[in-house]
Amino acid sequence: MVKNIYLIHPIENLTQKEKDFLDDYVLELEAHGNRVHYPIRDVDQNQDGFKICLEHRKVIKEVKEVHIYWTKKSRGSLFDFGMAFSIGKKIVLINKNQVKRTKNKSYENLLLDLHDLSNKK
């Protein structure tokens, strides 16, 4: 089944190792016929931040599910994640092995719970 996917990922402070991982992840999804909105590739990052957020919101509304590469350092990812969560998109955490559950409430715990919930559907 072909999916329409929005990928949330860091852009600011993105390491080469993370970019390589994300590039490979997108290539793999697309090789299986999926359509992936990959912001670092598909959105002009030199435009006004407000325009970028509007573009992201439009695409998030249109996709079937949202995949997220989570890192605390990405403020934009947090914003995009909030948009996806607020409209009830299926959340797939693609670097689950790097995200650690915390003792107190946290975005990490929320992402892990949403990922697990999405995989039960």
**Tokens 């990959």 found at:** 38
Q: Which class would CATH give 4-120?
A: alpha beta
More reliable by pLDDT, 119 or 30: 30
The domain locations on the chain are 4-120
> Which pLDDT does position 121 carry in this prediction?
59
pLDDT tens figures, 38-93: 999 999 888 998 999 999 999 999 999 999 999 988 888 889 999 999 999 999 99
CA within 13 Å, CB half, 74? 22
Question: How confident is residue 1, by pLDDT bands cut at 50, 70 and 90?
Answer: confident
The string of DSSP codes covering the chain is ---EEEEE---TT--HHHHHHHHHHHHHHHHTT-EEE-HHHHS-TTS-HHHHHHHHHHHHHH-SEEEE---TT-HHHHHHHHHHHHTT-EEEETTGGG----SS--HHHHHHHHHHHHHH-
> Which pLDDT does position 83 carry in this prediction?
94
Question: How confident is residue 13, by pLDDT bands cut at 50, 70 and 90?
Answer: confident
